[in-house]
Structure 1
């Protein structure tokens, strides 16, 4: 099939929506549901991210996309006890490597992942399908599906859940084109390979790049390649923990990503893990309650909790976050001022990769040295629009 008609474009008033190939057949099949325009943008960006991240790391990879940027992306590092609790995974629930990767990708920012489009780097197994089945999601793309996994997903949303199968051997043409306002744009697609070879040169006094940091920087870089610019990504434990996307100022990217990373760490605190949720709350309602609790925005605790809950004070938050270290950060372009570095340190950043090339590189490097941060300036810009 060389084309696929869609329900509508970005909005219901935009008809005649379709995807098509100039030569040959489409490299994807619809196994269930009716995908929309934005679904496919998320799916195709997400597939590129996870397939390239898996190749760069040798691990299973997954992404949770919303509005053409990843809410989360991750590889398959095993969950510890705290992560199981914060991601609502049972103590004895078995997870395949792929399921683990998706749990991490979804858990990076569960508020933003609500209604996501999922991308999986390899054959979707039953354990991964079971995780997907219980989350609010629009669809999934993978290179193949186990029969039992596909049967389970085809029952989701009363049979309307979007299930896409992508040909993993497909190689797109080097030239990519799109039309804006009746004008055709063309450029070579971004073929930059973001593996361990791009984590050099290290330009700071601190040159101790650990294996853990190396993995996290690769997760962050590959996520940025498919994040709407300007963008900054924080990562830890093989997953993104804060993505600041589509901001006009880089410091706003860093602040947004840092706030999300801070929330990810605060969700692991005893005060949050021990919240006495009402048994009737769904996982998504618990996510909303945690977000409101961390922001001190809960007006009626009885709507969420079975008993009185003391607030998490600003002093307690600062105390928890003050002990955080080992966070990695990637930027899709250079830092124009040291303010980004100073803000990043407030969220425990110890490792940074960015392109470099600013007139103020020396000031940015000096800021890293003052904070003991390792920084790579690899001359690779990753704008994505």
Structure 2
């Protein structure tokens, strides 16, 4: 048996924390720092997500995890001009495919990603390491690192930044176990592959799905596989833009994820991109300023902006969002009522994938037809706990 001692468990009062493996050696190595219990949960869930995304799409992938659910996940599509501006990436900066994936994953929900654990599908290069260095995070896991990237990452947190290396060839046993209240649970691990083959059948009158939209559906599905249930995910341009995780009601998942997706869309509008930030403002303060501005919070903006700025009104929000379309949505289980479809449509959803199986499937399909939404019912449930 090989064992790795951790700082502590879920909380500082929970000592004797460790991870271990009964046979062979652990498939990960600590290259720097000392991880905690939650760090490892985030790292191992995140690694599975990015490995699955890379397998499904062939693109470098990244994920930003917080408390065992992704704040964001993405593949390495190049950033357009607006995305560079909203993610604070200078136009002169060259990003590798992996760095683009990381910037997207981190930028999906920047407030939730603060202090995250990062997962990368490919060798961490210097381009990606430089982007990681500029953000507040607890650590990173990747299959390998270039020497230059490792040197940059080891400078974070005064040299205490957690850097993990995972063996990409490691295949866990079919059966997985966990202990709750001294009782051992056993089940087969979820080996469902979520690639292009699961995007069928289409059950609505509208049938057409472009390759770009299929990619977005795969990003959403693979993200849900490693998100605490109930969960719903909105995706666009090769990344998640809203994840609603761990809600007891599916409509609450859809609303929460939809609100985040709306904020992501609004961050790309000129009204936000041209905000007159004070030159001394940190990246995190800019995030806070944008969040307050978009939510219409009536606080004093003088500490953020170089000139007077009024908060975004409800009327302005509705006007800016009314033209949004082409968003993809995935659900980890069936929609029991059409209210989920109606809410999704308000955030520009045009494509949906879910398992189906509700007694009201016909009403859900009817709602999609009325709104011109393409829906797939693939029979695959993706609960994760």
So what's the TM-score if we normalise by structure 2? Answer: 0.99
* CA–CA separation in structure 1 for the residues paired with 2:203 and 2:312: 39
| 2:200 is aligned with 1:216 | no
Contact 2:95 2:127 in 1 (8 A): yes
Contact 2:298 2:311 in 1 (8 A): no
Q: CA deviation at 1:24?
A: 0.8
Q: CA deviation at 1:298?
A: 4.2
Partner of 1:285: 285
Q: CA deviation at 1:303?
A: 0.8
Partner of 1:359: 359
Q: What SS is found at the alignment partner of 1:366?
A: helix
* CA–CA separation in structure 2 for the residues paired with 1:298 and 1:2: 55
Q: CA deviation at 1:311?
A: 2.9
Q: CA RMSD in A?
A: 0.7
* CA–CA separation in structure 1 for the residues paired with 2:86 and 2:298: 19
Q: CA deviation at 1:325?
A: 0.3
Q: What SS is found at the alignment partner of 1:264?
A: helix
1:300-320 deviations in Å (ceiling 9; x for gaps): 111110101133221111011
* CA–CA separation in structure 1 for the residues paired with 2:207 and 2:297: 42
Q: What SS is found at the alignment partner of 1:357?
A: coil
Ranges of 4+ aligned residues in structure 1 off by more than 3 Å: none
Partner of 2:177: 177
* CA–CA separation in structure 1 for the residues paired with 2:320 and 2:222: 29
* CA–CA separation in structure 2 for the residues paired with 1:194 and 1:379: 12
Structure 1: give runs of 5+ residues left out of the alignment: none
Partner of 2:300: 300
Contact 2:123 2:142 in 1 (8 A): yes
* CA–CA separation in structure 2 for the residues paired with 1:334 and 1:226: 17
Contact 2:231 2:246 in 1 (8 A): yes
Alignment map for 1:31-46 (pairs within 5 Å):
31-46=31-46
Alignment map for 1:155-194 (pairs within 5 Å):
155-194=155-194
* CA–CA separation in structure 1 for the residues paired with 2:258 and 2:296: 18
Alignment map for 1:134-283 (pairs within 5 Å):
134-283=134-283
Partner of 2:121: 121
Q: CA deviation at 1:173?
A: 0.2
1:225-250 deviations in Å (ceiling 9; x for gaps): 00000000000000000000000000
Q: What SS is found at the alignment partner of 1:139?
A: strand
| 2:344 is aligned with 1:316 | no
Q: What SS is found at the alignment partner of 2:342?
A: helix
Structure 2: give runs of 5+ residues left out of the alignment: none
Q: What SS is found at the alignment partner of 1:135?
A: coil
* CA–CA separation in structure 2 for the residues paired with 1:5 and 1:298: 47
* CA–CA separation in structure 2 for the residues paired with 1:301 and 1:367: 42
